[in-house]
Amino acid sequence: MDASQQELAAEIARRRTFAIISHPDAGKTTLTEKLLLFGGALREAGAVRAQKASRYATSDWLELEKQRGISVSSSVMHFEHSGHRVNILDTPGHKDFSEDTYRTLLAADSAVMLIDAGKGVESQTRKLFEVCRMSGIPIFTFINKMDRLGRDPLELLTEIEEVLGIDAVPLDWPVGAGREFRGVYDRQLQKLVLFSGGKHGTALVDQTEIEGAVDASAVREFMGSAASEVRDALELLDGAGEPFDPERVRAGAQTPVFFGSALTNFGVLPFLDRFLEIAPCPGARDSSAGPIDPAEAPFSGFVFKIQANMDPDHRDRVAFLRVCSGRFVKESNATHVRTGKRVRLSKSSLVQARGREGVDVAYPGDVVGLFDPGIYRIGDTLSAGDSFAFEGIPSFSPEHFARVEVAEVLNRKSLNKGLEQLAQEGAVQLFTEPGAGTAVPILGAVGPLQFDVLQHRMSTEYKVSLKLTALPYQIARWLGPDTDREIFRFSETKLLEDRDGRAVVLAKSPWYFERLQEKHPELVLSPTAIHA
């Protein structure tokens, strides 16, 4: 192995690229802020509040996110910590934006599952966990809000195992709860970590470490009234719990569990340090040519997100590219596999939420922002070597549909441009009726909040006031290319085409599709369409 290969292998080994998933209001964006704080990327953490907040979270940069105090778009942040290069893919917590979350998870090497200590495993957590399981990425668990009185930690572990079907192995254990939450005991390193200070979570906390077994006199003295409860819980776990097994974690059969409070910063640094030790670095990824080794193959990567108008002064578009193998080198050339054309990798940047910084070289695991003149789509593969494609990124069946009232729009050019660009981002899905002389756009969304975001962004970014009329459909299915479309002419369904000209059928309930397939057994209906 020459010096160049050694340098590439070393850069890959120190990278950790992960996404954070949770139910809304579990504290996901707050935890992201605190990881950035401990990584030195922030001087002071911003609380995630609604309109009256004096600061806003770094990862929430869309104007609507600032107004509502929620994350509605995935974002990327990075920092250096203890010799590791950390790339955080912050995802929307709201269920209406689960498709954006799914795309982002495909670019991650692992996921941190955030659970509210008072609420346990919630519905959106279950859905996102299943997405992680389908993607085959390891999952780490952070039980948050220990600064509030919540459920018993042992009860939470049992719920994780029973509801999600994965072994939960705590690597640390909380000392106290609510106002009495003062620290964690590290089971593997056998030491007590106590926290103080932190200026209500906006600054780093002070940590005091006391080494020793859980029943050592010094450890018990510092734990105070919580000593007996902690000792009894750990004895139970040692006797009846599963041992920590890194291989089972990588296989998705076991999740390491940590406890803390993202709001106060208590437990965040111990979690970050241990996570970086055991989380996987970038590995081989499946493609049409087989697994692509990050250290052996030339540069390659895929686009998992497109964002228009990140810079309101320039109204530009950025394609988020996950580097999968080799070195990304600015101004080099690569093949845009879908079109077969050679593209120059110019105007590249590392994205930090809304901010950007120029980048000359990037490595597997990094996310690079490419200036997009309109040539990229979600799922596109770039390769400097052989022409192959990474596995496609699916579009899921929308559950809400609306017609755009074009007669209400004065500037049709801005309307078409805005809808096309936001559809390319994946903000909504865009359909038209086949054969219509003047195309009337029909929009599809996983959740109704997507329509609110669309209308807000069309108004602020494209100066178009958009009126939508809800349609009575709740499900969509894509048709095979050889399907006889006459089947749907007199049915109680609606036949449309997506942006790529593929036939899509809308129905008011699954029952309509079941009845159609009874009449036409040869009919193939797909709940997803792959971004080729």
- Say which residue, 440 or 151, is predicted with more confidence: 151
C-beta separation of 75 from 353 below 8 A: yes
Task: Say if strands 183-186 and 172-175 run parallel, antiparallel, or are unpaired.
Answer: antiparallel
Q: 315-372, pLDDT tens digit by residue?
A: 678 899 999 999 999 999 999 999 999 999 988 877 665 556 778 999 999 999 998 8
Q: Which two tokens stand for residue 186?
A: 């590290």
Confidence of residue 68 (pLDDT cuts 50, 70, 90): very low
Helix (H) or strand (E) holding 421: helix 412-425
pLDDT at 57 over 60: no
Q: Please, what is the Cα angle at 467 between 461 and 470, to 5 degrees?
A: 125
Mean pLDDT of 492-498: 90
The pLDDT assigned to 95 comes to: 62
Among the residue ranges 71-85, 394-408, 454-468, the one predicted with the least confidence is 71-85
The pLDDT assigned to 524 comes to: 86
| Chain position carrying tokens 């081989």 | 284
Residue 238 DSSP code = H
pLDDT at 90 over 90: no
Confidence of residue 203 (pLDDT cuts 50, 70, 90): confident
Percent of the chain with pLDDT over 90: 53
What are the φ/ψ torsions at residue 275 (nearest 5 degrees)? Answer: -60, -45
The pLDDT assigned to 308 comes to: 74
Q: Please give the Cα distance from 504 to 137 (Å, whole number).
A: 31
Q: Please give the Cα distance from 23 to 121 (Å, whole number).
A: 8
Among the residue ranges 92-96, 239-243, 471-475, 487-491, the one predicted with the least confidence is 92-96
pLDDT at 62 over 60: no
- Say which residue, 45 or 474, is predicted with more confidence: 474
Q: Which CATH class is domain 17-79+91-278?
A: alpha beta
Confidence of residue 401 (pLDDT cuts 50, 70, 90): very high
| Chain position carrying tokens 């790529």 | 500
pLDDT at 310 over 90: no
Please name which of 473, 510, 455, 453 lies closest in space to residue 398, comparing C-alpha atoms: 473
- Say which residue, 520 or 528, is predicted with more confidence: 520
C-beta separation of 372 from 319 below 8 A: yes
| Chain position carrying tokens 């209308």 | 455
Mean pLDDT of 57-75: 48
What are the φ/ψ torsions at residue 490 (nearest 5 degrees)? Answer: -115, 15
Q: 434-460, pLDDT tens digit by residue?
A: 875 556 899 999 888 889 889 988 998
User: In sequence order, which ranges of 265-388 are alpha helices (DSSP H)?
Assistant: 268-278
Please name which of 111, 94, 79, 71 lies closest in space to residue 355, comparing C-alpha atoms: 79
Given this chain, do its domains 17-79+91-278 and 394-531 carry the same CATH topology? Answer: no
Q: Please, which contacts does 218-226 make with residues 24 or more away whose CB atoms are closer than 8 Å?
A: 219/185, 219/192, 222/192, 222/194, 223/175, 223/183, 223/185, 223/192, 225/180, 226/175, 226/176, 226/180, 226/182
Angle, to 10 degrees, between the axis of helix 268-278 and the axis of helix 28-38?
A: 80
Q: In sequence order, which residues have a C-beta less than 8 Å from that of residue 447 and are 6 or more positions away?
A: 94, 95, 96, 97, 98, 399, 400
pLDDT at 61 over 60: no
Q: In sequence order, which residues have a C-beta less than 8 Å from that of residue 372 and are 6 or more positions away?
A: 306, 316, 317, 318, 319
Domain boundaries, the chain: 17-79+91-278, 300-391, 394-531
Q: Which two tokens stand for residue 125?
A: 């957590």
Percent of the chain with pLDDT over 70: 87
pLDDT at 70 over 50: no
The pLDDT assigned to 121 comes to: 95
What are the φ/ψ torsions at residue 220 (nearest 5 degrees)? Answer: -65, -40
C-beta separation of 89 from 81 below 8 A: no
- The whole model's pTM is what? 0.85
Beta-carbon-side half-sphere exposure of residue 84 (alpha carbons within 13 Å): 24
Mean pLDDT of 137-159: 96
Confidence of residue 56 (pLDDT cuts 50, 70, 90): very low
The superfamily (CATH) of domain 300-391 is P-loop containing nucleotide triphosphate hydrolases (3.40.50.300)
Among the residue ranges 6-20, 33-47, 78-92, 492-506, the one predicted with the least confidence is 33-47
pLDDT at 485 over 50: yes
pLDDT at 531 over 80: no
C-beta separation of 219 from 210 below 8 A: yes
Mean pLDDT of the chain: 86
The pLDDT assigned to 71 comes to: 46
Q: 6-21, pLDDT tens digit by residue?
A: 999 999 999 999 999 8
C-beta separation of 343 from 384 below 8 A: no
What is the C-alpha end-to-end distance of the chain, expressed in Å? Answer: 36
The CATH number of 394-531 is which of 3.40.50.10490, 3.30.460.10, 3.30.70.3280, 3.40.190.10?
A: 3.30.70.3280
C-beta separation of 451 from 400 below 8 A: yes
Among the residue ranges 120-124, 251-255, 307-311, 429-433, the one predicted with the least confidence is 307-311
